[in-house]
Structure 1
Amino acid sequence: MAPPVRKAFALRLDPAVHAAVERLASAELRSANAQIEMLLREALEARGYELKARAKARRGRPPKGD
């Protein structure tokens, strides 16, 4: 099963905003990228946009074939 496709794009941020995101991400043990995505999802939900639940990533080794 292929991993879900993710959209990449450049984002220009004020250095102070980026530093705040990095501090928050560090405190919550996330990458800055994951923190930005989480903040965007929260903001969209707060404005009433329902997002589809994403498929959880499968962890560990794939099962052995016969």
Structure 2
Amino acid sequence: MPAEKKAYPLRISPVVLEAMQRWADDELRSVNAQIEYVLRSALHANGRLKPAKAKPLADDETR
């Protein structure tokens, strides 16, 4: 069963969005997946998000 996701409108500057699009393209991810990846990385790095239990991710959640 896929993890539930909550939709959230995001206002983002065109410059940041373009940079995210290039980065997402390099990583073979959608912009949405790239934004979530970057947010998760920052949250983990700052101790704001506990590591997930060892559970394999679906392909669409990783790339």
Instruction: Give the TM-score normalised by structure 1.
Output: 0.74
Q: Which residue of 2 aligns with 1:12?
A: 11
Equivalent residue letter for 1:29: L
Quick check: which has more Rg, 1 or 2? 1
Q: Secondary structure at the match of 2:7?
A: coil
**Cα RMSD between the aligned structures?**
1.9
Residues 8-49 of structure 1 show CA distances to partners (whole Å, capped at 9, x for unaligned) of 010000000000000000001000000000000011111112
Higher normalized contact order (CA 8 Å, seq sep 6+, divided by chain length) = 2
List alignment gaps of at least 5 residues for structure 2.
none
1:51 maps onto 2:57 in alignment: no
Return the structure number with greater helix share. Answer: 2
List alignment gaps of at least 5 residues for structure 1.
59-66
Instruction: Give the TM-score normalised by structure 2.
Output: 0.77
